Structures are given as C-alpha cells and as structure tokens.
Structure 1
Amino acid sequence: MTIHSYFCSRQRRGGQNTCVRFPPQLLALSILLASQPTLAQDYFDPGFLNVLGGKSEVDLSAFNQAGGMEEGSYPLEVAINQREAGQFTLEFKKNAQGKITPQLTPAFLDSLGVNIAQVPSLKNLPTEQPIDDLPTLIPQASTTLNLAQLRLDISIPQVAMKPGLGNAVDPALWEEGISALLANYTLSAGRTSNSSSGTTQHSNNLFALLHAGANSGPWRLRSSVTHTRTDNSGYINQPRTNSQSTRLSETYLARDFHGLRSTLLAGESSTGSDVFDSVPFRGVKLNSNELMLPPQLRGYAPVINGIANGNARVTVRQNGNVVYETWVAPGPFRINDVQQAGLSGDYDVTVTEANGEIRNFIVPYSSLPVMLRPGGWKYELTAGRYDGNMTQESRRAEFMLGTLIYGLPQGFTLYGGALAAKDYQALSVGSGISVKNIGAFSADVTASSANFAETQQTGQSYRVRYSKSLISTGTSVDLTALRYSTRNYYSFSEFNGQGFRLEDGVSPWLQQRRRSSFQTQLSQQLGSWGSLNFRASRDDYWGSERSLTGLALGYNNSYRGVSYGVNYAIDRMQDSNGSWPENRQLSLNVSVPFSVFGHAPALQSMYATSSMSRDNTGRIQSQTGISGSALNQAFSYSASQGLGNQGQAANSNLSAGWQGSKGSLSAGYSYSEDSQSINLNASGGMLVHSDGVTFSRSMGESVALVSAPGAAGVNVSGGTAVTDSRGYAVVPYLTAYGKNSVGLDPATLPEGVDITQSNQNVYPTQGAVVKANFATRIGYQVLMTLKRETGVVPFGATASLINAPQEENGSIVGDAGQVYLSGLPEQGALNVTWGDNPDRQCRVNFNLKETQTTPERPVREITASCVSANEKA
C-alpha cells in the first residue's frame, strides 16, 4: 500500500477547499527544510500542483501573499472610515515598493469626503494623478482590499476629512430616474344590514382612491382622484336612495433645484407649519428641502467639544444606544455632525485614547422642531389662493407668504415670517434656545390684522414651547406647548372661514376661534417595571364657555412574553342628538403569544388577545379572540367575540388578509343578532415604463424599477418584491437623496439563469423612479472537467466562453481540471489560457444536449478535451 499525505488550503473566493496529494518522501523533505531558520518570505511552489511530473505551467506568484491579486480593473464596493461610499471600478497596479495598490486620484478622494484643500501633500497634485502609496501622502491612512467580498476599505484620519459629512451622499450621485407613469390605488366596498321592527335596512358603500403621477427628468406631476358611492334601501316610508361624488385634489407639478437645496411646486398643496399654522392653497411654492442635507446635518444637535491626548476614538451614546463614533487626531476636537435623534436625550460622550485610557462626559441635549444647527437655514416663499374645505364656502383669499429660520451659535435659532392678503396681514417673530441641563425653549408672537365689512380686527397670539429628557430618572418631556390668543386675533384659516357654514361631518369646534391652547406629552421609563405615557390637551374658545379636553394615560409592560396595558382616555363621541359630549373610558388589554406554550413554528406568530373597557355611563364592552400570521407573514387572520352589559348585541368578527408582492387583499365579516356586515379591500401600485407595465405593492415617493431579463420569480430586497415573468419588479420604498441597496436573492434564481452581480446601490431624488439593471446570463450551469493531452488543464487557468460579453471575465480552473461555468448555450466553445504563449492556450468545443439534471444534481457535469493550436496543426 502506498501512503500519501495531503495539503489543503481554503481559497478566498467562495470558501472552497483545495487539497494536493504529496508522496511521503516529499513531505519529509518539506518538514526538514521548514525546520531551518530563514528570513525569506513565505512561498508556495506551484510545482506542488503538478506532482505527477513535469514543470508547472501556471504563474501563481501574484497569490504568494495573503490578499494577493493580479493587476487589472475590479468593480468594488468602496467604504471610507466604515461608511459605505458606493460601487466603483478601480485600477490596481504595482507601486514602487512592488505592492499592488488601488490607483486613487485626488478627485476621487475629494468625492469621498477627504479635505484635499487642507492636506498639503495633496492640494497641489493634478486632480487625476494616480496615487499608489496613500500613507506617504496622508499619515496613518490605509487601504484594505477584501477580494472575497469585492470591498475596498479606505481609512483616513478625521483631521484630513471634510467636517460635517459623516454619511453624506455626493449630490453628483443623485439620480432623477427614468420617465414613467405611476399610481397607487385603494378600493373598499362593504354592505351592512340592520334588522329592526320587522324590516331590514341595507347600506352599500364603495370608496376608490387613485393617487397617480408622471415623471420626466426632474419634473414630478402628481394628482389624486377619490370616488365615493352610497346606496340605502329598506327604510320605512322612504324610497331607495343613493349618492356619489368624484373629486380631484392634490394636483401639482414639482421639481428640485439642487444648487439651492430647494423644491419648486405649482398646484395644490399646503404651506409649512414651522412659523404660521399650515394652510391649504393653490399656487406656487419655493421652499428649502431639508432631505437634501445629510441626516447628521438636519434639525438641531449640540456641538461636542473636547481634547484628545493622542489618536482617540470618540463614541456618543443616547439612551444607551451608540448614535455616533469617529476617530480624532491629538489636540482639541469639535464634532457638529451628530444626527438628530428625537427632541431630547442627553449625549453620553466617551473618549478612548490609544493607550486604553477612557474619559467620559455628558453633553445636555434638548431641541424643538423649529431649531437648527449653527449656520443652518430653512425658508419658504408661497404665492396663491386659500383652498380650504372645512366650510361649504370661504373667502378664498389670495395671499403671499414668506418665512425664514436660521441657526445661530450657542444653541440659538431665530425664525419669523410675514403673510399678506387683500384684507388680512400677519407678522410673526420668535426664537428658540437650548439651555443645557434646563431644556429647550422657544417663544414667538404673531400679530394679525383682519378686515370684515369695514370692521378691522387686530390681535396677537403668543406661544411658548418646551422639551427636555432626564436620563437619570427616565422622564421625557417630549413637547409641551402653551398658546394664548387675544379676542381679535384671527389665523388665516379662521379669517377665510368666518361667517360660512361648516361642511357635514366636520367637528363643530373647528369653526370657533381658540382663546388658549395647552398640550403636553410626557413619558416615564420604569425599567423592568414597564413604562408610563401621558398626553393631555385643553382648548377653550372666544364666545363660548365650553372647552375641548383630551387626555390619554397609559401603562404598558410585559412578563415572560405576555404583554399587558392599562389606559385611561378622554375624547368626544357624537350622540344621537348631534352633540359631542365628553367620553371617559378606562380599558385593559392583554396579549398572550402562543409561543409560550411550545416551540412549534405554527405557534410563533399566533396570539390570544383580550380587551375590556368601561366608560363614564357604566357601559362595559369586551373583546376576546385570536390573531396571527402564516406563510412568512404574508397571510394574516383574526377572530374575536364581543360582549356588553347594557343590552349591546353580542358580535362576532372574522377577518383575513393577504400581502403579496403585487398588492394586498383583505376581507372582514361581522355578525350580531340584529346586524351583519361584510367588507372587501384591495390596494397596490402600478408602474408604466418604456418596457411595459409592472405591478407592485403600494409605493412610496421614491421607488426602483428592477430589470433582470429572464429571471422570473426572484426575491428582491429582502422580499419586498418578486420579479414578474419578464424579470421586472418594483422596490416600493426608497430613501430620497440617500444610498439604497437593491439586491436580488441568488438562491431564488430559476434554473438556467445566473447574474453577474446581485446587489446595486441607487441614489434617487424625491419622487424619482430609478432603474436597477441586473445583467443575467441565460443558459446552462455546468461543472466541466477539462482534459489536456495526458493530464488536465492546470490549476489557475482561466476559461471563458468565446464571443461572450466583454464584462464576463470567465472562471478559474480548480483542482483536477474542474471549472464551474454558468450561462452556457447548448453548444459552444471555450477559450482556456494560463499564459501568453500559444502552447499555454487551448480551445474546448462542448455539446450539452445529452446532459441532464436531477434534484440532487442541479448542475450539469461533462468532461471535455482542450485542444491547442499546435495539436490542431
């Protein structure tokens, strides 16, 4: 018996094991030589790959070192300081030290956020000059290539980065998208039957909503159409009645101006609510678009100042969560780009020095919606006509409005504005400030002048707002606001609706003029004891002794997966006389997951729920039932039984819903002794583009159209969509002006289809439809053994399909001459190379007609001969 030994190594790409068999004499010699001291670098003799004799024919010197690679161009995912920057094709070449490095340029580094103008060694270089040794130009900078993941990590000290960038996206990457028509639709239909006095009344209802739009370049056209229809029958001494209405609304044309960081809109919309109360209008609006700013520059957050003794890591936590982390150079540092997270919650700052020393300090943080960082600004300019619909008619006054908000140092923000119409003028001015441990305050005053039939009414409205979070006690004052208006103060909405009748169904107090208004929201975290939430509001009005009070107090907790809560609320409920008395209600609810009873998959998404409520009239109502989901949460269901103590009819309720990749469907049924009802609902989206029509779920503002020709039924972006029979799908929700990753799940590709890349990054503008094209290779997947002369094609050779697209680089031949190829036609030829000389090249003709696949072997396997030009001769 002959004893052999094996040398195995794991290749970086794909994680495949490669094993080489050694005769025992060679193994002993290797051990003897390895025991001698040496200063030479590690070297793997390619001859080991051809131990049967002869000389190795493949050059593997480029792979002698960890991470070794050949020179050339590579499509890579680039990250700078652990921040994803996008996908780029970079050139790799040997530098003066003999290392293969990426050929970066000052222009490319500038686009990544490197402060080229402030780095002495870079600012005078030509913008397109290749940089092949980055650390010599920027001390402590580095590049790390992960070839297995096709990712290049660039590390740059913070001192050499532009301030305030963080996760900023270069505006040059923003995509206006393709020309397309898009629409979201909602359909709801129901039938209710009530029995009383020996008769049965029927009511049929239909509601349809279509929110449609068109995109062309930077232009966005949007409009909404609603249709309602009601049929009533069976009422004593009353004929059958029906009513219907169709309304077109929210029609506008808009586009962005990136240089101004603004959006221009013409049509129907609403003004902002930062300075004046928001009002609907028809006209033109130009306003700043804060979404164009990086997330860490939006809103307000305090500046963090400190001193680092060396190269230190600064970590910022809020409520125990890390919200920011960066490296700083020795000396003073100033951080002003921490992303806003809520309106309050102090920053816990940790400075970790290179020697392990740790220092910690607290930066108090409280903010209000109107506040901005130093140098931040927001504005709005609007000209149009009031377009409110609370009253059956209104003055429809034409007006002009302008507002401005500006952030100042030391936590100050100034804001103000003016509104002018023919018989109405208003002026507002205010300021906000963050006072460290005390909290954030803002105060403003608005003065108005309104003319009514030769009577001029002049008044003022004063407003104060406050916000604060106390980490030590777990108390958060989310927002508290107090407003008082004098008797003759009119808001613009009140001026336009004064003296006109309210529309049916509108709450009556909306026509009254507010005298004072108070609202507050508080929350208290109790650790393992749960949490308390409190919300209260109170409004009173001029000319009325009545006040409008709202209150909600809740306690919530869970124990071993069982959730429970107690809530008390004050609201208003319309009675049979058409008035709106206060309704006080105390409720208790419990939710028990079936997972507490076992680990069976069917139990993990089922819940038993029960709720009970009692109002101020002594009426008690209860609901008990089960709910859950199945089929990866695509199917949902619920069943419940309701009871009451004051003659309320017991009612039974059933509902079921389906959320698919092309829309959603749901149905419900309710039954009691004297009534029953049934309802059906459907919603979804539709995108019309140059290649046809693609259906989807209901879409957000910015979406992506995925094109993967021939790849049907493939999951897209974590299951948010599935490609149709032509390989198209819509990713329904994208973040405007930010990086969005759109990917295909290779595990769901149909047989005979492969993709060259499974993920793309897109950067849509607001309302854009961006296209993500995925190149597909349609054909057979084959594991081919390549024979040559008396042996096999050498390890490391490259096999590529003749006449294949240029972007397909071929596959590497592995051990025993085996190579995996995808997208092959039934007949064709391969070009195999392992050097530049003709004797290191050969050609393979293949025919896959007789090959088959099985569930156990989904890849076809054949053996083929590789014939060189000399052999042909």
Structure 2
Amino acid sequence: MRFGGVQWTTDFQLQPNFVSFSRPSARGEATLPSTIDLYVNNVQRMHREVQPGPFEIANVPVVTGQGEVRMVVRDLLGREQVVRMPYFVSPTLLKPGLRDESYEIGKLREGYGSLGTHYGRPFLTATNQVGVTDAFTREWRLELMRGQQAFGAGGVLALPDIGKLELNGVVSQRSGVWGGLVSAQAEHFAESFNYGARVQYSQRHFAQIGSSVGTTPRLSAGAYAGASWGNNGLSASITQQASWEGHSIRVLSVNNSVRLGGSDSLNFYALRSISDRSNVSVGIVMIHVFDARTSGSADFTKSGTQRQNSVQLQQSAPAGAGFGWRLQADRSQTERMSAAGTWRSALGDVSSDFNRSGGVDSYRAGLSGGMAFLGGGVFPGRRVDESFAVVKVGDYGGVRVSRANNELGRTDSHGRLLVPGLLPYQPNAIQIEQADLPLDAEVGELALELTPGRRTGVLVDLKVRKVRSVEFRMLGENGEPITAGTLVTLGHSGQTYPVGYGGQVFISDLNAEGTMPLTIENPPCQASITLPAGGAGSAELEDVICKRPPK
C-alpha cells in the first residue's frame, strides 16, 4: 500500500538489544546447596550455584525456533535431578503486555509507476498486536475508507511440542457488498527437522485497501518439510494457487544440498509446475569459494526439452577502495557472454558492463556517489542510503579509516572522509590508522563507537592536531645528569614531565614560543628553555643547566 500521509508505529529496532518475545524460564527447588548446569539443545549455556530453597532462571538464552532446555541440579551428596522442558520461541510472539501498534492516515497513491501523481480517497488504518501470555499473541486490524471498510482479527499460539499455530479472519464491505478471508498456518521448527503448512481462502468480493476486488487468490495453500544432517540438507515443498477466473497453478520442488569440505558445495534441485500444461525442470549447481571475496559456480539446468549451462567467476568489491568484477557465460538456445567491473573509491563507485547475446553487443557504464551537508560543510563521497558520518582527522590527508576493521578509504587533503552505511541505533566501531600520522600529531582518539539515528549524519572529530615538542638533556650545576624519575614542571602550564635516563627530558604539546621556565622541587632548582619560532614538529635543544634558586 502506497500513500501520502502520516504513520505512527512501534519500532523495536530503536533499541537493538531489546527482546520483544518471551524467552523460557527454568524453575526448581534445591534441598541442599547445589550446582546447576543448564543446557540448550545439548549445549551448555550456564553454570550456577544455588542455596537451599526454590530458584528460578529467567530469560534462558535460546535462539528462535523449537528446542529443549535441560537443567541438571547436583547437590553436595552428588545426587542429580534432571528436568527437561521443551520450548518454542518466535518473534511473532510478544511478551505479555507488550504492544506492537501501527496507525496510518492519508490518501492512497493511484497509478503508481505512471507519469501521474494522483492521490485518491482518504483512508485510516489501525493495527494492534498484544502479547496475552508467553504462548499467545492476539491481533486486530481496522481499515476505513469512504465506501469500503474491513476488520480482521487473529492470533498466534505457541505449542511447545508441536510448534506455532496462526489463525486469522477478515471481513470486508465495499459498496454494500460483503466479502471475507480466512487463513491458517502451522509450523514446526527443530534443530535438524522442520515442516509447515498454510492455507488461505477468500471470497470473490473480498476487498482490502490498496488492492482491487477479485485480485486476491481464491485459494492459496502450501506445505514444506526440511531436514539436515552432517553436511547434507534436504527439503521439499508444494504450493497451489487458484484465482476466481479459473486459473490454477501447482508447483512441486525438491532440493538437496551437500557441502564438500569448507569451500565446495553441490546443490541438486527438481521442480514441476502444473497449470495449463506441465513442465519439469532439473538442475545441479556447483560452487567453489576461493577466498572471502572470490567464488566460482557452474549451473546445469534442463527444463522440458531445453538445456541451459552457465559458468560464472566473480570477485566482490571490498568494503573500502578496490576493484570487483564478474565474468559469466551462458549457453541455451542462444549463447550469451557478459563481463562487469566496479571500481570503488572514497568518492563513489564507477561501474561498467558488457553483454553479448545472440550476436548483439551492448555496453553500459554507471557512476554512483553521494554528498553530505553536515556541520556547515559539504562532503562528497559514496552513495548515502542510510545513516552516515563524516570523520575528521585534523588536517591530515591519506589517513586510513576503517569500520569494524574493514578499511573504507583515506581522508582527503583536509583530513575528512564520508563514511556511509552505518547501522542505525547500533554501535558502529570506527578506527583510524596511527601509522599514517606523523610523529608530531597528537591523537585524541584512535577508535570510538557511533550510535546514529536512522538516516542521520554524525560529525566525528577525533581531535588529532599538530603539536610542538622539544627534547633536551637536563644537568645539575655540577654537570651531572638529573636523576631519572625526577619531575620537571613547565611554568606556563604547570604540567610535569619525568626525567629519563641520562637526564633526557621530552616535553610535548607546546603551543607557545619564546622562553619558558622549568622548575624542580626536590632538590629545588630552576632553568629555562627557548623554543624556536614557527613551525611544528620536534626540536632538539642544547643541554639545560638547572640551578639552585637564590637564597
């Protein structure tokens, strides 16, 4: 449904660490001081000591799906008590009392995809989901528009030994004509075996906002089953759809995948579609992974009387600057060859494609980039689709910037780099390469984490700047080096610096010029240094004599 208007909705992604569904709890009672070992699908997740009395372990860490929690309670006498609890966890099951709501008001967009920009009748929709218990979530939806209304209700029920059952029903009215829709779905998820089935039936005059009357299939049904063991996986499915115009199609498919070692895999598949005429397709796909970015595949397919063979070799473009490419050759009724390349830089992507099919050649070139306006500045860079940041590394150009240890590019001559593609509402680790900075650079932070909002920009100043520093040898009045570990105080800032071996002193972060006093408290003495005018970097001074203050 496309519309112009306002939407108010619940979005759990605003808190990525928030868990909206209920997780199982383990309860028991210990008569003596005991230890508890908690296993989820035979993998130990927790070890805890408990005192005599009842206890509860809430929010057991499990993955979504179906499984078993096993709790082993062992007391001081070595006696064991084993408790087994099946569980089912799904994101569609909300915690008790938790609501997921959505409200929309506006006008429907009509003729989408055409040159027109017409908006039709005003409408109002409301969707409300509430977790009733750990195992049941109910839902209702209301649609209101002049001359057309619809109301539906349903629920999701978890059955620990079976899986998930979902039931829905909708009734609609359009221009005085009533229609309805009912659907049911059941699913079973286990560690190595899963299956499910669904069915949906609608009446001819059922109407929903955003769809035309009669376009909803009269009947839509399907079932699937899958199993995995070792490096093998086998699945099968059947789907059927029938319209009110009398058209019907049924599709049966079988898929078998085999992993050969760590870098090779085979996939066998067969598909049969039945409509006005029957068609059978069988094929095999072989895949070899050379490294994290490079892979090759070969696909052999037979569909009816036609055969198609295809080979492909590709290397994906890196996250940072670099080159990606793809080579492909197909042979069926006609021969087809294609090649593509993408050059990725900090300023965007340049791509080119070549295709030859049936003796006809075609070429295509593309340029993709983005521009961010942030903090009063304009920053060209890669295409900006989501959240982004502009990283500022002082005025140092050529400094490598990485996100999650993936190099993204180097800063420009002003020390800036546009970093697109940040995950909203989640920590994004940004790092710079210290080896790219000169010795006279003072670094505030080499790495930090950003948590931007959705489609927002963040200006990141890592507080890198040029500083002046001096190095000299500090001697006493007797000409001997000052004892290592003695603290020297810089007069204009009050900052202290330790004396190294041989009387060596290194003072950094100097912003002033001219003569600056130095003092030592124990034994008391005074000295001064003169900083050369202009420039940045490190300067090596002559020996400095620290003299006792006059009495």
Q: Same fold (TM over 0.5)?
A: yes
Structure-2 change in CA distance of 1:773 and 1:487 (3 Å): same
CA distance in 2, matches of 1:765, 1:464: 38
CA distance in 2, matches of 1:426, 1:532: 41
The answer to whether 1:444 aligns with 2:168 is yes
Which position in structure 2 is the counterpart of 1:214?
none
Task: Name which of 287, 295, 320 aligns with 2:17.
Answer: 295
Structure-2 change in CA distance of 1:672 and 1:544 (3 Å): closer
CA distance in 2, matches of 1:404, 1:658: 47
Structure-2 change in CA distance of 1:432 and 1:846 (3 Å): same
CA distance in 1, matches of 2:71, 2:527: 62
Task: Name which of 299, 309, 313 aligns with 1:622.
Answer: 309
Which position in structure 2 is the counterpart of 1:756?
444
State the secondary structure of the residue aligned to 1:712.
coil
Contact persistence 1:282–1:386 (CA under 8 A): yes
Using the TM superposition, name which of 280-289 and 325-334 deviates more: 325-334
The answer to whether 1:591 aligns with 2:294 is no
1:466 counterpart letter in structure 2: A
Contact persistence 2:100–2:129 (CA under 8 A): yes
Aligned-pair CA distance for 1:291 = 1.8
The answer to whether 1:713 aligns with 2:398 is yes
CA distance in 2, matches of 1:630, 1:735: 20
Which position in structure 2 is the counterpart of 1:346?
67
The answer to whether 1:385 aligns with 2:81 is no
Matches of residues 169-248 of structure 1 in structure 2 within 5 Å? none
- If each structure's strand is expressed as a fraction of its own residues, which one has the higher value? 2
State the secondary structure of the residue aligned to 1:297.
coil
State the secondary structure of the residue aligned to 2:352.
strand
CA distance in 1, matches of 2:34, 2:473: 55
Which position in structure 1 is the counterpart of 2:189?
469
Which position in structure 1 is the counterpart of 2:200?
483
Matches of residues 277-676 of structure 1 in structure 2 within 5 Å? 279-293=1-15, 295-306=17-28, 317=40, 330=51, 332-334=54-56, 336-337=58-59, 341-342=63-64, 344-346=65-67, 348=69, 363-389=85-111, 396-451=120-175, 456-471=176-191, 474-477=192-195, 480-494=197-211, 497-498=212-213, 512-520=215-223, 522-528=225-231, 530-534=232-236, 536-547=238-249, 549=251, 551=253, 553-559=255-261, 561-569=263-271, 584-593=280-289, 606-616=294-304, 618-628=305-315, 634-644=322-332, 646=333, 648=334, 650-672=335-357, 674-676=359-361
Aligned-pair CA distance for 1:676 = 0.8
Which position in structure 2 is the counterpart of 1:54?
none
Which position in structure 2 is the counterpart of 1:786?
473
CA distance in 2, matches of 1:314, 1:289: 36
Aligned-pair CA distance for 1:747 = 2.8
Which position in structure 2 is the counterpart of 1:20?
none
2:442 counterpart letter in structure 1: D
Where structure 2 has 5 or more consecutive residues not aligned to the other structure, the ranges are: none
Aligned-pair CA distance for 1:543 = 2.8
Contact persistence 2:253–2:269 (CA under 8 A): no
CA distance in 2, matches of 1:747, 1:581: 67
Which position in structure 2 is the counterpart of 1:742?
430
Of all paired residues, the percent bearing the same amino acid is 18
CA distance in 1, matches of 2:503, 2:236: 72
Aligned-pair CA distance for 1:689 = 1.4
Structure-2 change in CA distance of 1:820 and 1:867 (3 Å): closer
Deviation readout 1:554-608 (Å, 9 max, x if unpaired):
4242235323222334689xxxxxx99876532222233557xxxxxxxx86544
Contact persistence 1:785–1:816 (CA under 8 A): no
1:486 counterpart letter in structure 2: Q
2:198 counterpart letter in structure 1: A
Q: Root-mean-square deviation (CA), in Å? A: 4.3
Using the TM superposition, name which of 457-466 and 310-319 deviates more: 310-319
Matches of residues 62-77 of structure 1 in structure 2 within 5 Å? none
Which position in structure 2 is the counterpart of 1:685?
370
Aligned-pair CA distance for 1:433 = 1.7
2:67 counterpart letter in structure 1: D
By relative contact order (CA 8 Å, sep 6+), the higher-ranking structure is: 1
Structure-2 change in CA distance of 1:306 and 1:630 (3 Å): same
1:405 counterpart letter in structure 2: Q
CA distance in 2, matches of 1:447, 1:656: 52
1:754 counterpart letter in structure 2: E
CA distance in 2, matches of 1:869, 1:571: 99
Contact persistence 1:413–1:433 (CA under 8 A): yes
Deviation readout 1:207-264 (Å, 9 max, x if unpaired):
xxxxxxxxxxxxxxxxxxxxxxxxxxxxxxxxxxxxxxxxxxxxxxxxxxxxxxxxxx
1:587 counterpart letter in structure 2: G
Contact persistence 2:22–2:59 (CA under 8 A): no
Deviation readout 1:495-540 (Å, 9 max, x if unpaired):
xx34xxxxxxxxxxxx733112224554422213x22345553321
2:248 counterpart letter in structure 1: R
CA distance in 1, matches of 2:75, 2:430: 38
State the secondary structure of the residue aligned to 2:207.
coil
1:589 counterpart letter in structure 2: V
Structure-2 change in CA distance of 1:417 and 1:560 (3 Å): closer
2:4 counterpart letter in structure 1: R
Which position in structure 2 is the counterpart of 1:179?
none
Which position in structure 2 is the counterpart of 1:865?
543
CA distance in 2, matches of 1:443, 1:788: 88
CA distance in 2, matches of 1:516, 1:781: 80
State the secondary structure of the residue aligned to 2:210.
helix
2:154 counterpart letter in structure 1: G
CA distance in 1, matches of 2:72, 2:171: 49
1:517 counterpart letter in structure 2: S
CA distance in 2, matches of 1:813, 1:819: 5
State the secondary structure of the residue aligned to 1:408.
strand
Aligned-pair CA distance for 1:364 = 3.2
CA distance in 1, matches of 2:254, 2:426: 37
CA distance in 2, matches of 1:403, 1:569: 38
CA distance in 1, matches of 2:428, 2:378: 23
Contact persistence 1:461–1:489 (CA under 8 A): yes
Which position in structure 2 is the counterpart of 1:699?
384
State the secondary structure of the residue aligned to 1:747.
helix
CA distance in 2, matches of 1:305, 1:664: 56
TM-score (norm 1): 0.54
Structure-2 change in CA distance of 1:422 and 1:651 (3 Å): closer
Structure-2 change in CA distance of 1:728 and 1:871 (3 Å): same
Aligned residues: 540
Contact persistence 1:711–1:753 (CA under 8 A): no
Contact persistence 2:317–2:344 (CA under 8 A): no
Aligned-pair CA distance for 1:688 = 0.8
Aligned-pair CA distance for 1:872 = 9.3
State the secondary structure of the residue aligned to 2:369.
strand
CA distance in 2, matches of 1:734, 1:448: 42
